[in-house]
């Protein structure tokens, strides 16, 4: 039986995306440890950016799936821990650069959550290894998971954020109040990445009589 290395597992996990931010969990610094037994059972210790995230199980499932993509892996156990707590300084230089490129786009207008109609833009690229990338108009690519792709597609420029929250809740099987914060954060991140635009409502053409 060929020995599995922690580096192989870590490399595969670079295809696994944070459920709230279009960056992978390795460059986000969420993976705290990878232990491999003599029988090639893998134990991954990791954290999340926020406690109580309703997408906890989605991330665990994704991590398990990508770890098992490494040939020879048997059982995979994923433990979510909160000590030490995650902080921004755990991010890689690559992740920091990506976030900096988001913020360098300027300060977009605040989102009016009552009237905004987010529209997904850019293109979806399916990679040979099964990974998915959303690319913006500047050909900057962001690796994403299926949940983010489905959400991006549901942003058709005709749905209000309240409707998008409802759709996301139905697809994840969670309650609206559990996913509302995640949806709002995801909209902001995708907009910063140039993957969602929120058209500014046109001002009414009103002429006043003199």
Which of the two residues, 165 and 103, has the higher pLDDT score? 165
What is the residue whose two structure tokens read 């046109």? 202
> 104 Cβ partners below 8 Å, 6+ apart?
none
Per-residue pLDDT for 108 more than 60? no
Provide the whole-model pTM.
0.61
pLDDT at residue number 203? 47
CATH number at residue 139: 1.10.10
Which of 57, 75, 90 is the C-terminal boundary of a domain?
Answer: 90
CA angle 33, 35, 41 (to 5 degrees): 135
Measured in residues, the chain has a length of 210
Per-residue pLDDT for 105 more than 70? no
For 27-49, how does the pLDDT look when each residue is reduced to its tens digit (9 = 90+)?
999 999 999 999 999 999 999 88
pLDDT at residue number 78? 96
Separation CA 108–CA 120 (nearest Å):
16
For 117-144, how does the pLDDT look when each residue is reduced to its tens digit (9 = 90+)?
999 999 998 877 677 888 888 777 777 7
Inter-residue contact 68 to 103 (CB < 8 Å): no
Domain hosting 74: range is 6-90
> 49 Cβ partners below 8 Å, 6+ apart?
18, 20, 21, 28, 30, 86
Q: What is the mean pLDDT of the chain?
A: 83
For a pLDDT cut of 90, what percent of the chain falls above it? 37
Domain co-membership, 184 together with 134: yes
Domain tally for the chain? 2
Is 73 domain-assigned?
Answer: yes
């Amino acid at each position: 039986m060929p020995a599995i290395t922690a580096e192989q597992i870590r490399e595969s996990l670079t295809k696994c995306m944070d459920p709230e931010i279009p960056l992978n969990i390795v460059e986000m610094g969420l993976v705290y440890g990878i232990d491999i037994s003599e029988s090639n059972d893998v134990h991954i210790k990791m954290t999340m950016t926020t406690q109580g995230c309703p997408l906890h199980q989605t991330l665990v499932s994704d991590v398990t799936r990508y770890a098992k993509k490494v040939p020879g892996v048997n059982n995979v156990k994923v433990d979510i821990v909160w000590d030490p707590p995650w902080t921004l300084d755990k991010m890689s230089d690559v992740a920091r650069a990506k976030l900096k490129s988001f913020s360098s786009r300027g300060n977009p207008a605040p989102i009016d959550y009552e009237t905004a109609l987010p529209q997904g833009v850019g293109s979806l690229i399916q990679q040979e290894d099964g990974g998915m990338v959303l690319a913006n108009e500047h050909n900057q690519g962001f690796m994403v998971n299926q949940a983010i792709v489905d959400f991006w597609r549901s942003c058709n420029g005709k749905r209000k954020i309240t409707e998008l929250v409802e759709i996301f809740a139905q697809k994840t099987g969670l309650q609206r109040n559990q996913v509302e914060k995640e949806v709002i954060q995801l909209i902001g991140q995708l907009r910063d990445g140039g993957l969602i635009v929120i058209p500014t409502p046109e001002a009414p053409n009103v002429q006043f009589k003199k």
